[in-house]
Each structure stands twice: as structure tokens, then as C-alpha cells.
Amino acid sequence: MRKLSHSELLKIRKKESVLNQFERHPISIILSNVRSLYNVGSMFRTCDSGFVSELILTGFTPYPPRKEIEKTALGAVDTVPWKYFPNISDAIEYQRNKGFHIAALEITDNAINYDKLERENFPLCIIAGNELTGVDNAVLELCDFSIEIPMYGVKHSLNVSIASGIALYSSIRQWHIYNNT
């Protein structure tokens, strides 16, 4: 086994000029009141690698152009379709109008395990909340369901960009299973 060189990676990487020729995964992410510019930048990179439909930033979540976002996004701001909505309810309505099912990434009393999504849960919009308080209760009321990542340690949380990445990639895996791709 050997690690691929930078030049080898460049040969297999999609070119920005042809991205619109590929179908994106039917998954979008909403970040709700995320404080950290670095978490936002990390989510741009994660959404680029997952080839999501869209990243939506809401509330006081910072949005480009910001050098701190660019530092961790490494150019993904230019490759991920994104929007900013001051009000999350407008973002949820926007996604619903596009046919997306809305899921909060949150520990709730009836959450679905993150790896137990069904075919009918797609297209899927995952809402990730604030680093300290999670998804607001008022936002939970606007969601169709919630998904959670089991916690086995003392702390009952992951970093928002880490949790979102886990949920995103599990959703992508399940989408491919249901679509045999």
C-alpha cells in the first residue's frame, strides 16, 4: 500500500468547471446559530467532499466572505452551493418546497439512530444546532423527525462539524444502499 501523491489525486479529482454535470446527493445541511467560523469552514469542506445539494447557514451563523471560514474551507466555499437565511423557519420552508424531509441532528425522546434512515426519508435536510445548546426547541417543532448519534462516554455531545460529518456520510451510505449505486 502507498499513499497517492498530490499529482495523482489531482488527476482523479472532479474539476470545478464540470461539477454541474454530476448529480449531487439529495442531502442538504442547515447550520443553525453555529458560533465558530472554523466549524463553518469545516462544514464547507465536509459538504464538498460529500457532494451535498446545499449548505444553508442561518441565524447568527457566520457566512462568507470571512478569512477564518476560508482557512478551514480550503476553497470549498466556491464548490458548495450555499445560502444564508437570517430566519431558520424561512430556510426550512425553502427546503420543504424543494421536497426535502427535515431532520434535526439532536438527542430527543424519539430520535432515529443516525444509521437507521429509510428510503422515504430522502431527500433529506439535516439541521445541526449551536455548539452549546444544540437545535432550539422551537426549531424541533418544525422538523419531521430527529436523528441522533449514540453517545457512549460521559459527555453527551460531539463537535457540531464532527457530528454533522458523521450524520452526512451515514446518510450518503444509506442513500447509495437504497439506490444500489
pLDDT of residue 109: 96
pLDDT of residue 6: 81
The verdict on residue 1 lying in a domain is: no
The verdict on residue 107 lying in a domain is: yes
Q: Say how far apart CA 14 and CA 99 lie, in whole Å.
A: 27
pLDDT of residue 20: 74
pLDDT of residue 169: 98
pLDDT of residue 114: 96
Q: Say how far apart CA 121 and CA 118 lie, in whole Å.
A: 5
Q: What pTM was computed for the model? A: 0.92
The verdict on residue 19 lying in a domain is: no
The verdict on residue 9 lying in a domain is: no
The verdict on residue 144 lying in a domain is: yes
The verdict on residue 5 lying in a domain is: no
The CATH number linked to 128 is 3.40.1280.10
Task: Print the domain residue range for 32.
Answer: 27-179
Look at the chain and report how many structural domains it folds into. 1
The verdict on residue 150 lying in a domain is: yes
Q: What is the pLDDT of residues 65-81, one digit of tens each?
A: 999 999 999 999 999 99
- What are the φ and ψ backbone dihedral angles of 151, each rounded to 5 degrees? -110, 130
